[in-house]
Amino acid sequence: MSAIRLDKYLADMGLGTRSEIRKAVRSGLVTVDGQPVRDPGLRVEKTADIAFDGKPVGYEDLVYYMLHKPAGVITATEDARQETVLDLIREEKTRRDLFPVGRLDKDTEGLLLITNDGQLAHRLLSPARHVDKRYFARVRGHLGPEEVRRFEEGIVLEDFTALPALLTILSDGPVSEALVTVREGKFHQVRRMFAALDREVVYLKRLSMGSLQLDEDLPRGACRRLSREEIGRLRMEAGLE
């Protein structure tokens, strides 16, 4: 059993900042095993029956969010000048030990998994696991069978040769649209693969990572908890269950 301070327990579960929580506890809003408690420093078991303003809380060690990352926000936990993906999650007043799994460029939109499950993150990002990432891309220039073939062969970049990738053309024109599935997550990978074919990516959005699909009902900049099923499938893909 692991006991933690009551104020940390409640802050971890997203019920406010530590100082807001201390105030709430002192004012008698919190009960532990049915008894009102006014000491925010009280050590409680994670399995204790804790209620905040009459509502049961329940402690979770591992949490998982899907963020619909908007363009213009950087994939970092903190930055002195620029807004980060964690700033978007923190608006939900949640715990402080979260980090993004992999990164999207500042201009890229779409699915970003944010968690405190280091083991899952490590596995999903491990090059050996080849977890597929699917993107929607809009590029300047035509796309046709030649580009599909080049993606399939594995595009040679300055510092590495990309693994075979799947290019599905959605529309062909002066500006074309396609779905791209890659197995790696190297820096600027999709943009660099298109650049190697003289195509400039003008819009990029990640749609999925392994079995996890961006929820299209989630507005840009919003996040939601993953469902139990989504977590189970991801952990299975990562070889953790």
| Interacting residue ranges for ligand URA, rule: CB under 6 A | 104-105, 108, 188-191, 204
> Does residue 105 carry a catalytic annotation?
yes
CB of 95 to ligand URA, least distance (A): 26
> Using CA atoms, how far apart are residues 222 and 112, in angstroms rounded to an integer?
11
CB of 159 to ligand URA, least distance (A): 14
Dihedral sign for Cα 11, 15, 19, 21, please.
Answer: negative
Nearer to ligand URA, 63 or 111 (CB): 111
> Using CA atoms, how far apart are residues 95 and 88, in angstroms rounded to an integer?
13
> Using CA atoms, how far apart are residues 60 and 46, in angstroms rounded to an integer?
8
Nearer to ligand URA, 6 or 104 (CB): 104
Radius of gyration of the chain (CA): 22
CB of 133 to ligand URA, least distance (A): 7
Shortest CA distance to 11 belongs to which of 111, 76, 71, 92? 92
Shortest CA distance to 19 belongs to which of 30, 8, 32, 4? 8
CB of 19 to ligand URA, least distance (A): 36
Nearer to ligand URA, 7 or 109 (CB): 109
Nearer to ligand URA, 21 or 162 (CB): 162
> Looking at 49, 105, 172, 215, which residue is catalytic?
105
**Residues forming the active site:** 105
